[in-house]
Each structure stands twice: as structure tokens, then as C-alpha cells.
Amino acid sequence: MATLAVSGERKNYLNAEYGIRSWLFTTDHKRIALLYLLSITAFFFIGGFAALLIRLELLTPAGDLLSADAYNKAFTMHGQVMVFFFLIPSIPAVLGNFLIPMMVGAKDLAFPRINLISWYIYIIAGILYIHCLVTGGVDTGWTFYPTFSTEFSNTKVIEAGLAIFVSGFSSILTGLNFVVTVHRMRAPGMTWSRLPLFVWSHYATSIIMLLGTPVIAITLVLVVLERALNLGIFDPTRGGDPVLFQHLFWFYSHPAVYIMILPSMAVISEIVPCFSRKRVFGYNFVAMSSIAIAAIGFLVWAHHMFVAGISLYSAIVFSFLSFLVAVPSAVKVFNWTATLYKGSISFSTPMLYAFGFIGLFTIGGLTGLFLASLGTDVHIHDTYFVIAHFHYVMVGGAVMGYLGGMHFWWPKISGRMYPEGWGRLAALIVFIGFNLTFFPQFILGYLGMPRRYWQYPPEYQVLNVLSTAGATILAVGYLLPMVYLLWSLRYGKPAPDNPWQATGLEWQTSSPPPTFNFDETPIVTQEAYEYENMPLPEEVTLER
């Protein structure tokens, strides 16, 4: 084991074994996390390419770059790739996979082989989806609404449906692994109330994955059967009910938005106390708000269907419940802010992303409340306002958290420090680019520009040009970290075991960690976030 290798180069999970086989057949959660990192990055590029097409088409009012059909395929591909192949696996499968066993003081996840299988399932799903793209693509939007998807679309709906069906099993298995690991693999002394909030949030995420994903799976099976065999279960002209599909779809897909945001909140809950040198304010509230989000998140799905013909009474109930689900999210925002209060704050790269997250998520969440109020939603449903709302939470929130987390744990993952100056610059560019891209879309939506059209009246052009310009800046902001993180693998300063003087167990082992994480099973005697009287090291503070 690792202790034996004190003389010479210390063995870690990266240099323990070499060769492609040692990666493809690994059951080490840290290596599987890196496999996921590579694959979701590839999909991020594919989804990003589609976004580029969309923004270029919308640069001018006329439908000149893409045909209407090609545009439909572009936004469908963008949505499906980004949601199912990037954002849902992003933080859980990469950072969660890497960190959860270490954070609870275990040698690995409870089911290492199932963990590897989940990656292979993801890859199979990804290949299926790419096959679907290159043989023609889909044009139903990421939402697959019948009867368009089941009868009228002439594109590869069945292939896309099956690909996403398969990818669901990868997220179910990941969730299963996390839940069991948190229950059964905690080190001696690691009680529930000592768990880092990162783990609490991922626990809540996993429960949503486990209980929500099977519902989208069966819904997609029904769509595929309906389309392949012409059954009529979703066709109103034959006694079927298309609204039933929407209920089933959103029963998963609303909770799924919390699959995307909760892991990001997990990251923020680690970064904020560390760079304020304070115990997180109201640990219990933050932990329980994750569980509350998971629970209430299952009860609000019909707020996507206010104008789909559901009864007024159920609309009122769902509107009320949607207001309720914002409460635990707000609890988190208030607690992070209170953690900052009188903290000794340093503006390192991860913290910049955390600040970005808090601000943008707040805007995204509050506009969610606009949408959740019945009268307002009639006006802005299916407009760019909705697009702006969910990009504020999914890109401004979830992706910011992902980048913040990647920087925060990069020293642990790679054993190298990233260049701090470039990091801050990139964070700033991402923030500016993001707001320039998506803020105009709130206004566009409010003025009435509908989503999913490839051309628009000329009066909307100025705001669309701003948005496209912002998207270019955002792209630069995303490419930069990719470049300097790769650069740092070779040229970065070697990372100390605990560069931020952070408290989690993952920082007590070496950087990068040995294959079994700890030389000796740790014994926990403290609560999480004992930051008082633990100053940041000078290198970090000096750069303030």
C-alpha cells in the first residue's frame, strides 16, 4: 500500500498503474471520475457547438444561416446534450464520484464495479445519441412532447429516446452508489451531523435520481412504443391524452432541475466557509434544505403546464407549491451570505465562482417565482423569459458551481496548482459573458419573443445581437480554463496536500490521493467546518 512507497516517488491513484487497460477496467472511484470528466467535456463541446449555431442564426431577424428544420434540430440537440449528457452527470459523476468516498472517510464507493458499469452505460448512451445525430438528428425539443414526437416528426425520435433511456440507468446507478455509501461507508466518528454539506446535497440529489429517473425511463419507453407501433395512448383523436405525457415527463424533469442545481449548491457550501474562514452559518438548516428541496421538488411539476389545459384548481395548488419550493433555496442563499458576514474573505478563483453563483442563482430563482404565478406565466410562458430563467439557474448556477468546484479541488485531483491570475480572469469573463448573453433574453421574452423560432421581427434584433456577442465572450471564458488547467498538469506548481487549509477529510490525504484514499482509516472527532483560528496560508492571503 501507499505507505510502503515512501522512498522514491509516492504512489498515488494516477501513477499506481499505467496503460489504457488500467483506466478502462479501473474500479477506483477517482479514476472513474476522470473518465467521466473527459466524456462530459466532449459532450459539452457538442452541446456548445449547437449553441453556437443557435446564436449565429439569431444574429439576424431573417432565417438565413439555418433552415427552420435545421434550427429545430440544433436547439433539440443543444438541450438534450446539455441536460442529459452534460449537466446531469457533471458535478455528481465527476466531483461527487471523486470526493464523496474521501469526504466520508471510505476507501471507495460501496459498489466500485457498478460505478464503472455506470460509466460504460453512459458511454453506450452517448454513442447511441451521437449515432442519432449523425444519421439525421431530432427536432422535438428536449421535451419530446407528443403528438409531434409520436406522429408528426420525421426525425430520429426513437433513437434519441432510447439513448436518453439508457443514459438514465447510468444516473440511477450513480445515485444508488452515493446513497448506500453515505449510509454504510462512513468512517468511525463521521456522524450524520458531521458530514460535509457537499455530502448532504449529493445525498438529496441521489434520492431524486433514484425516484425520478425511472419515471422518465418508462415515459420514453411509452413514447417509443407509441411511435413505433402507432398505439394512440397519447393521441387525443384516438382517446389518448397528450397531457398525461406532460405530467409524466415533468414529474421527472422538474426534479431533474434539482439534480442539476443541488450538486452545485453542494460545491458552494464547501467553498464559501473555506474562503471566509468561518463555520458555515446554520449547518442544520443548509443540510435540511437540501432534503426539503428534494421532497418538495417532486410536488411542483405541473407549473410547466399552466397553459396546457390543466384545471384551475390544480394550477392554483401547483403555483402555491412552486412558491414553497423556493423557500429552502432561499434558506441556502441567506445562510451562505450570513457565513460571509464578518468572515475573513479572500477573492480566490473558486470564491469568485461562488459569488457568481449566489448572485445569478438568486436572479434565476426569483424569476422562477414570476413564472410560478399563474397570471404572469400566461404572458411569458414559452418565451425567451423562460429561456433566460433556466439559463440563469442552469448555466449561471450549475455550471458556475461546477467550474468553481473544479478549481477548488483541482490541486487534489491533479496534484498541481492552476495559475491563480488566469483563473480569476476567466471567472470574470464568464460572469460578464453570461450576463450579456442571458439578461437581454429576459427583456426579449417580456416583450413577447417566443422560444424555438429561427426568425423574428426586426425590432428584436438589438437585444439578440447583444446576446450573441455575450455568448462569444462566454465561450472564451469557458475555453480559458480548459487551456490553463491542461497547461497546469505539466507546468503548474506541485500542490501541497491542503493548499486552502480546508477542513474536509479529502484535504488530509495527499495530493493526489493514494488509490485507497487514506493510508489509515481516519477517525473523525470534529464537526465540519472548524475554520475558526485556522488562517489561510500566506500564498493565498497575500494575493488578496
Partner 1 sequence: MSDSPIVMEHAEHEARPELRHHFADVEQQRNAASLGMWWFLGTEIMFFGGMFCAYLIYRRWYFEEFAAASRSLSLGIGTFNTTVLICSSLTVAMSVRAAQLGNRKLQVKMLLLTLVFGLSFIGIKGIEWHKKYTEHHIPTFDYNVISGEGSLVKGNEHLLGIDKVENDPVKLRERKVEIQQHTKIFYSLYFALTGMHAIHMIVGVGIFICITWMAHKGRFTPEYHTPLEIAGLYWHFVDIVWIYLFPLLYLIDRKPIS
Alpha carbon distance 302, 312 (integer Å): 12
Residues 6+ apart with CB under 8 A from 138: 73, 76, 77, 80, 132, 153, 155, 156, 157, 159, 160
Instruction: Decide: is 393 part of the binding site for ligand HEM (CB under 6 A).
Output: yes
Transcribe 362-390 into DSSP letters. HHHHHHHHHHHSHHHHHHHTTBHHHHHHH
Residue 391 within binding range of Cu ion, rule CB under 5 A: no
Residues 219-278, interacting with ligand HEM (CB under 6 A): 257, 260-261
| 22 lies in the site for partner 1, by CB under 8 A | no
Q: What x/- string results for residues 284 through 323 when contact with ligand HEM is judged by CB under 6 A?
A: -------------------xx-----------------x-
Alpha helices (runs of H) in 416-544, residue ranges in sequence order: 420-447, 461-491, 538-542
Contact status, residue 135 vs residue 89, Cβ threshold 8 Å? no
Say whether residue 68 binds partner 1 (CB under 8 A).
Answer: no
Nearer to ligand HEM, 372 or 505 (CB): 372
Q: Is 180 among the residues that bind partner 1 (CB under 8 A)?
A: yes
Residues near ligand HEM (CB under 6 A), total: 24
Told to check if 369 binds ligand HEM by CB under 6 A, we report: yes
Backbone angles phi, psi at 2, to 5 degrees: -60, -35
Cα separation, 384 vs 452, in Å, equals 9
Task: Tell me: does residue 451 bind partner 1 (CB under 8 A).
Answer: no
Q: Rounded distance, CA 76 to CA 452, Å?
A: 9
CB closer to partner 1, 208 vs 292: 208
- Closer CB to partner 1, 130 or 291, in the complex: 291
254 near Cu ion, rule: CB under 5 A: yes
Nearest partner of 302 among 346, 244, 261, judged by Cα: 244
Nearest residue to 383 via CA among 399, 369, 371, 401: 371
Q: Which residue in the shown chain puts its C-beta closest to Cu ion?
A: 254
Neighbour count for residue 417 (Cβ, 10 Å): 18
Q: Is 368 in the site for ligand HEM (CB under 6 A)?
A: yes
Can you list the alpha helix ranges (DSSP code H) found in 234-348?
A: 242-276, 283-296, 312-340
Examine residue 386 and tell whether it contacts ligand HEM (CB under 6 A): yes
Instruction: Compute the Cα dihedral for 159, 165, 168, 169 and give only its sign.
Output: negative
Q: Which of residues 110-169 bind partner 1 (CB under 8 A)?
A: 110-112
- The reply to whether 25 sits near partner 1 by the rule CB under 8 A is no
Q: Which of residues 290-349 bind partner 1 (CB under 8 A)?
A: none
Residues 125-144 that bind ligand HEM (CB under 6 A): 143
Of 425, 539, 527, 421, which is closest to residue 473 (Cα–Cα)? 425
Q: CA-based angle 521:525:530, to the nearest 5?
A: 115
| Span from 64-72, 183-191, 392-400, 434-442 in contact with partner 1 (CB under 8 A) | 183-191
* 390 near ligand HEM, rule: CB under 6 A: yes
> What residues numbered 41-70 form the site for Cu ion, per CB under 5 A?
none
Cβ nearer to Cu ion, comparing 350 with 396:
396
Residue 303 CB, nearest distance to Cu ion (Å)?
Answer: 6
Q: Is 389 in the site for Cu ion (CB under 5 A)?
A: no
Contact of 189 with 525, CB cutoff 8 Å: yes
Between 172 and 474, name the residue whose CB sits nearer to partner 1. Answer: 172
Comparing CB distances to Cu ion, the nearer of 254 and 332 is: 254
Is position 365 an interface residue for ligand HEM (rule: CB under 6 A)?
Answer: yes
Q: How far is the CB of 200 from ligand HEM (least distance, A)?
A: 17
Binding region for partner 1 (CB under 8 A) out of 224-232, 321-329, 374-382, 452-460: 224-232
Helices (H), strands (E): how many in the chain?
Answer: 18, 0
**From the list partner 1, ligand HEM, Cu ion, none, partner contacted by residue 107 (C-beta under 5 to 8 A by kind):** partner 1
Separation CA 522–CA 531 (nearest Å): 19
Containing H/E element for 112? helix 112-134
Euclidean distance between CA atoms 238 and 232, whole angstroms: 6
Closest CA to 127 of 242, 240, 46, 31: 46
C-alpha 341: how far from chain center: 28
Contact (CB, 8 A) for 272 and 354: yes
Which stretch in 60-68, 173-181, 352-360, 388-396 sits in contact with ligand HEM by CB under 6 A? 388-396
By CB under 8 A, tell whether 521 contacts partner 1.
yes
Residue nearest ligand HEM (C-beta atom): 368
Binding site for ligand HEM (CB under 6 A): 143, 257, 260-261, 303-304, 322, 325-326, 329, 365, 368-369, 371-372, 377, 381, 386, 389-390, 393-394, 397-398
Binding site for Cu ion (CB under 5 A): 254
Binding site for partner 1 (CB under 8 A): 106-108, 110-112, 172, 176-177, 179-180, 183-185, 188, 210-215, 217-219, 221-222, 225, 229-233, 238-241, 244, 248, 251, 516, 520-521
